[in-house]
Amino acid sequence: MKSSPSSPSSLQRKTPFLSTLLLAFIIFFIIIILYSEVFSFIFTQSHSSNYNSISRIIQRKKEKLAFAIGEREEGCDVFSGSWVWDNNSRPLYTEDCPYIQPQLTCQQHGRPDHDYLYWRWQPHSCSIPSFNATLMLESLRGKRMLFVGDSLNRGQFVSIVCLLHQHIPENAKSMETFGSLTVFTAKDYNARIEYYWAPFLLESNADDAIVHRITDRVVRKGSINKHGKKWRGADIIVFNTYLWWMTGMPFKIL
């Protein structure tokens, strides 16, 4: 058995690194979507309502939409930039989204300001295309997209669902939970966006999606198949687990 203690001073030194890593994860997730064959046309500046036009775009799998608008031949460092005020295209969704957990609704819990809703990441030498829900739904047609990990990935899952659900009629969507698995279905597109709670990815005593705040955590080495068998058949999988390994709390590995 092994343990992984960490001192408060070492955690303080890791804080800037964790913030950078979190931003890198979010941008890396966007890159994964943009550069897959099917998802290369999810992000565009115009929102076309013409179904045939969208279908033709989806079929052109060999073509790639540039990840960054205005990037030079040598590329663009999307990590080099700043947050800019944008009250024209932000927010992309609000707390009215019914899938946001109550404990994450800042305004309902008394936050008085709204300025935080209008900030957008802007790279110095290029621009990131706007999100297009219609193209993403068409790209997800007949597919299963799965988020696996802890509450950070659950937040990513909820964000994607909130971005899409406002473009889907009430009778054409559903959200269901089956233990550790939560499934959002866009019925007209035969598309499923799912979230599976597995904070360590491996089997652990924190696998209960509701009751998992355990002080003495235990992880079983080499047990990926315990959860992995539930992920089979997914077309796109987004993993996240690092926060649970870096909390500084000791845990046992069996």
Whether 175 and 117 share a structural domain: no
With bands split at pLDDT 50, 70 and 90, how would you rate the model's confidence at 112? confident
Instruction: Check whether residue 114 and residue 144 sit in a common domain.
Output: no
**240 is a domain residue:** yes
Distance CA 31, CA 128 (A): 11
Torsion of CA 152, 160, 170, 42, to 10 degrees: -170
In a domain, 1, yes or no: no
Summarised one tens digit per residue, pLDDT across range 49-66 is 445 555 555 555 445 555
Sign of the four-CA dihedral 180, 100, 135, 176: positive
- pLDDT bucket at 236, cuts 50 / 70 / 90: very high
Question: In this structure, are 157 and 238 located in the same domain?
Answer: yes
Q: Which residues contact 228 (CB under 8 A, 6 or more apart)?
A: none
Q: Are residues 192 and 146 located together in one domain of the fold?
A: yes
Low-confidence winner among 37-46, 67-76, 92-101, 184-193 (lowest mean pLDDT) = 37-46
Q: Is the pTM of this model over 0.85?
A: no
Residue 68 lies inside a defined structural domain of this protein:
no
Together in a domain, 89 and 210: no
Residue after which a domain boundary falls, among 66, 100, 128: 128
Counted domains in the chain: 2
Question: Do 164 and 203 belong together in one domain?
Answer: yes
Residues 43-57 as b or e (16 or more Cβ within 10 Å = b): beeeeeeeeeebeeb
Confidence at residue 207, expressed as pLDDT on a 0 to 100 scale: 75
Residue 63 within a domain:
no
pLDDT computed for residue 44 by the predictor: 45
177 part of a folded domain: yes
Same structural domain, 157 and 227: yes
Confidence of residue 91 (pLDDT cuts 50, 70, 90): confident
Query: 176 in a domain, yes or no?
Result: yes
pLDDT of residue 145: 95
Q: Count other C-beta atoms under 10 Å from residue 36's C-beta.
A: 14
Domain membership flag for residue 52: no
User: 200 and 96 share a domain?
Assistant: no
Q: What is the pLDDT of residue 81?
A: 92
How much is the average pLDDT of 88-102?
A: 85
Q: Are residues 111 and 28 in the same domain?
A: no
Q: What is the mean pLDDT of residues 133-162?
A: 91
Same domain, 94 and 182: no
81 and 20 belong to one structural domain: no
The number of helices, as runs of H, and strands, as runs of E, in the chain is 6, 9
In a domain, 88, yes or no: yes
Read off the pLDDT band of 90 (50, 70, 90). Answer: confident
Same domain, 123 and 155: no
pLDDT: which is higher, 111 or 70: 111
Distance CA 107, CA 105 (A): 6
Structural domain that includes position 88: 74-128
Element (H, E) at 194: strand 191-197
**Which of 17-21, 67-71, 90-94, 226-230 is predicted with the least confidence, judged by mean pLDDT?**
17-21
